[in-house]
């Protein structure tokens, strides 16, 4: 009789362990299926995971995500200067070459931690910084950031005479400040 009770208890423990593993797998699968790219980027930023990000233009950026906004991720590049990448322009995110195997980024983090790229640029415009924009189609433009409107970024390009460049905000794939304002 005691042997039957021990066998039954062992079967119950084994079944409970199998059920727990099954629940854990199911919860992990649900998290992966609910993932979005912004949440994956938040996970990578929290893990300080160096990445290689490829944009729809073919441009690639190496660095560590430092913050995620509603429509952009900031990346600390090799030179320490941040670059801001439009999430809509990102095609691939992978571990940076030579990185240790990263923990999985499940993408189940809820929501970005910052505002919009337009707001970041608009806040900086008062200081007249120098800005380089990578655009849909692969073109880059640079100059002094003058203003950010509803759907347009205005730069004052270098040259004699300097003249304004108007960039449709939705065409910006990446943005980086450089030099002095």
Residues 12-70 have pLDDT tens digits of 888 877 777 766 766 665 555 556 899 899 989 999 999 999 999 999 999 999 999 99
pLDDT band at 88 (very low <50, low <70, confident <90, very high): very high
Residue 7 lies in a domain: yes
Q: Say whether pLDDT at 102 is over 60.
A: yes
pLDDT, position 4: 78
Residue 107 lies in a domain: no
Q: Please compute the mean of the pLDDT values over residues 134-142 and round it to a whole number.
A: 96
Q: Say whether pLDDT at 110 is over 60.
A: no
Residue 68 lies in a domain: no
Higher confidence at residue 73 or residue 104? 73
Report the Cα 4 to chain-centroid distance in Å: 57
| Helix residue ranges, H only, the chain | 2-33, 37-46, 117-125
Residue 24 lies in a domain: yes
Residue span of the structural domain in which 21 resides: 1-33
Report how many domains make up the chain. 1
Q: Please compute the mean of the pLDDT values over residues 70-91 and round it to a whole number.
A: 93
Q: Please compute the mean of the pLDDT values over residues 131-158 and round it to a whole number.
A: 96
CB contact set of 56 (below 8 Å; sequence gap of 6+): 89, 90, 91, 136, 173
């Amino acid at each position: 009789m005691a042997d039957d009770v021990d066998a039954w208890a062992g079967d119950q423990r084994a079944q409970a362990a199998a059920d727990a593993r099954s629940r854990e797998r199911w919860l992990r699968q649900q998290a992966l299926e609910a993932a979005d790219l912004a949440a994956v980027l938040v996970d990578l930023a929290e893990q300080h995971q160096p990445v290689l990000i490829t944009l729809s233009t073919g441009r690639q950026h190496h660095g560590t995500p430092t913050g995620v906004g509603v429509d952009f991720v900031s990346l600390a590049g090799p030179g320490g200067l941040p670059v801001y990448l439009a999430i809509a322009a990102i095609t691939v995110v992978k571990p940076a070459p030579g990185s240790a195997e990263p923990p999985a980024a499940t993408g189940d983090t809820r929501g970005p931690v910052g505002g919009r790229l337009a707001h970041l640029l608009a806040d900086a415009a008062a200081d007249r910084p120098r800005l380089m924009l990578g655009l849909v189609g692969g073109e880059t433009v640079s100059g002094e950031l003058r203003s950010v409107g509803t759907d347009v970024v205005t730069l004052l390009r270098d040259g004699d005479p300097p003249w304004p460049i108007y960039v449709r905000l939705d065409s910006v794939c990446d943005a980086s400040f450089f030099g002095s304002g």
